[in-house]
Chain A
Amino acid sequence: MKQKDTLTPRQLSALLFLGVLSAAIRLLPKAPVAFAGTAAWLAPAAAAAPTALFTLILMGFLRGRREGEGLGELALRSLGPAAGRAVCAGVALWLLFYSGFTLRVSAERLLSSIYKSGGVLLFAGVTAATAAVLAAGTLRGLARTAEVFFPLAVTVLTVVLAAAVPNLKAEYLLPVSRLDLPGVLRAALPVTNLAGLYGYAGFLTGYLPPGRRERSRAVFRRLAWGFALFTAILFMTVGTLSAEMIGHIHNPVFTMIQNVHFYGDTAHIDALIVVLWVAMDVFWLGTLFRIQAELAGLIAGLRRRNRLVWPTAAAAMAVCLLTGPTQFDLTRISDRVIPGVQLALMFVVLPGVYLVGKLRKRL
């Protein structure tokens, strides 16, 4: 691993947070509303405990890392070369599928929100190429760009959510009672799943400077901010569109933004939001490509792993073109396949590897 290519925990966090935010805008309103209806905006509060548990497991695992090690290296150390490589290969293949899916969804979003007569190939190709250019350089470059972009994305999202406040309706947010508890608990699953994406940061911790460890308090503070943003997104979409309509709408956040007016006049700021959203996708895909390259390099024993970013992007592009092929298929994958695998990684694979490492006294 190149020791010159280092980044701070803050930069790493910004990079991952942008990816999580992009997925949150896409997934958040629909999935929790399907379980909890009007009470869906309470789902982040219910997801706090399982997310905290996952974070503690992840941080416990990462505490045993040595200089230049990430989750991949730790898996190899815990499970031994063969089983460790197999697990890393499994995660890399999963991420390949996930990045191909993300590419496809990103392109579909442009088609369903702006360019109704465009083609997937063009949008996915440009997004993949841009993400690959960013990821193939130094990780520090990608992370610093994300660090600069992060406040812009959060500010714009906050302003847009604030601008939608006049459209809020109490009757769309209430009633909420103890009878909603089972639904809210089930709705916590997709939110936990989403927060778990942040855990992919673990594969890049090898780039943190030697001796620089992420403090628990800082991690939990960032998570708390993330959950506040999740709650705000859910609260505003449910409060402006209603749980009933969210069930019918493909991109609820986008529909909410379409109805935002500034000073009663300026409308249709949605194109601006789509641009930001695509930019967030680019950072997220860049991060995913880089993690896959790291894992592939680790399995193959390569030193200059960033050279694997372009082949990874090409493979993701192939997955993207094969995924779907319709918007309905993508929704099915998003609702059923991805949450299942993601939760298995968070609460089965990661704790399992950690436990084996501890039992074998390799950590």
Chain B
Amino acid sequence: MRGRRYAAACLAAVLLPGLCSGCAGNTVYTQLRDVESLELVRTVGVDREEQVTVTVVTGLSAGGDAPITLQEQGATLAEAMHMLEQSASRRRPFYSHTEYLVLGQSAAEAGILGYLDYFGRMLEMRTDTGVYLVRDGDAAPVLHSVCGGKDGGDRILAFLKEDLPRTGQGYVATCLETAVSLERYGCALVMAIRLRPGEEPDAVQVRPAGFGVLENGRLTAFLSDAESRGVCVLQNRVREMALVTDDGQGGKISLQLGPVRTAIVPVFANGALVRLDAQIRSTANITEMASRRSAEDPAVRARIASQVEEQLTKWAQAAVDCAQRMGLDFLALGGAAARKAPVRFAAVQAAWPEVFPKLDVAVTAQVEVIRSYDMDAPLSGGPMRRNAETGEA
């Protein structure tokens, strides 16, 4: 009996994997498709006028072929996607590797909640897909000209996503982050991009164009470059940033800022919230200095630090002013204050939308110049001249 069972088990072990191979149609997988029969979509673009227009672009093939672009329309995103699957003649679009959702301005103005819902509901999609918004334009041209080009795919958008935290111009929120912000604060920020003519004929470039502000899922405004930088500073989204200041004597000094960290501290008096302190801290390294004064001089460093502090404060204040003017806490200051003083802030929580626009928000910055790399003193351009009276260089 045991021998028979053993033989049956061995036979099953040999035969069953055959059903799992996917060959000759004798397979247990009902939805199995060879990878050759799939178009691996990397970017999905959505535009809206009367209907939803969806444009999808695949990645670059291993052989260097240009990405494939497909486009369809439907009453909803789901219907447009369905139409796309039907119209794809040779290969089926496969969305599991979608990295970016690019929204046209008209689509964002009409409301993006349905698109976020679709990304959460669709089995193949992921909620950590990055969201871009095209300022003053549609998504389709971006996907056709930037992603669909021979050097395109999702590389340019990926490069931009990597680069933004280093320049302090913005960050790319995911579908999940956007949805959470909308659920929590009723508003969210989406990174906007803009098409610009490139150097070569017919070439285009993508440039960051500030944040788009979504209110209850609809695009209502755009932030300026300064306001967007202020958002990044206040939300601790700046990993490093290049800045140029002057030495006060006509010379320019280039700086590389380290991570910018901002602490939001609520100030209470008699149990009432009277102020929010936004305390910014960062470090600066000198990357280029064409100046007659050396950074070894503490006064020079103090002047540099003060200029950077002024710049950071100006950006952050611009973002705060904009948020208060719009009455939208897209900076998540309420959340940051609640984390700092949860019990005392609980009294304000319910009335936060009314309290926030009138609240005093004090922004301060503290920057220290800590490094000048391998150049202790800037080049003087000639032999040192000494002051005849004092003897100093």
Chain B nearest CB from A250 CB (Å) reads 9
Q: Assess whether B183 is in contact with A245, with CB atoms less than 8 Å apart.
A: yes
A179 at the interface (CB under 8 A from B): yes
Q: Assess whether B342 is in contact with A179, with CB atoms less than 8 Å apart.
A: yes
CA distance A248 to B120 in the complex (A): 9
Which of A57-65, A155-163, A170-178, A314-322 sits within the interface?
Answer: A170-178
Q: Assess whether B120 is in contact with A177, with CB atoms less than 8 Å apart.
A: no
Contacts of B335 in A (CB 8 A): 171
Q: Assess whether B96 is in contact with A268, with CB atoms less than 8 Å apart.
A: yes
Chain A nearest CB from B162 CB (Å) reads 11
Q: Which residue of B lies closest to A177 (CB)?
A: B342
What per-residue 1/0 map shows which CB atoms of A108-130 lie under 8 Å from chain B?
Answer: 00001111111000000000000
Contacts of A242 in B (CB 8 A): 180, 183-184
Contacts of A268 in B (CB 8 A): 96-97, 126
B76 at the interface (CB under 8 A from A): no
Q: Assess whether A178 is in contact with B180, with CB atoms less than 8 Å apart.
A: no
Q: Assess whether B176 is in contact with A115, with CB atoms less than 8 Å apart.
A: no
B123 at the interface (CB under 8 A from A): yes
Contacts of A178 in B (CB 8 A): 343
- Chain B: interface secondary structure? helix
Q: Assess whether B180 is in contact with A177, with CB atoms less than 8 Å apart.
A: no
Q: Assess whether B342 is in contact with A267, with CB atoms less than 8 Å apart.
A: no
Q: Which of B123, B128, B339 contacts A114 (CB 8 A)?
A: B123
Q: Assess whether A259 is in contact with B346, with CB atoms less than 8 Å apart.
A: no
Q: Which of A115, A259, A267 contacts B97 (CB 8 A)?
A: A267
A216 at the interface (CB under 8 A from B): no
A167 at the interface (CB under 8 A from B): yes
Contacts of A245 in B (CB 8 A): 176, 179-180, 183
CA distance A116 to B31 in the complex (A): 10
Contacts of B96 in A (CB 8 A): 267-268
Q: Assess whether A259 is in contact with B343, with CB atoms less than 8 Å apart.
A: no
Chain A nearest CB from B227 CB (Å) reads 21
Q: Which residue of A lies closest to B343 (CB)?
A: A177
A258 at the interface (CB under 8 A from B): yes
Q: Assess whether A171 is in contact with B332, with CB atoms less than 8 Å apart.
A: yes
A234 at the interface (CB under 8 A from B): no
Chain A nearest CB from B126 CB (Å) reads 5
Contacts of B179 in A (CB 8 A): 245, 248
A335 at the interface (CB under 8 A from B): no
Chain A nearest CB from B293 CB (Å) reads 42
CA distance A109 to B369 in the complex (A): 56
Q: Which residue of B lies closest to A180 (CB)?
A: B342
The 4 residue pairs across chains A and B that have the minimum distance between CB atoms: A175-B342, A177-B342, A244-B183, A259-B128
Pairs A–B under 8 Å by Cβ, sample size 11: A115-B30, A171-B339, A174-B342, A175-B338, A175-B345, A177-B342, A179-B343, A241-B176, A259-B127, A267-B97, A268-B126
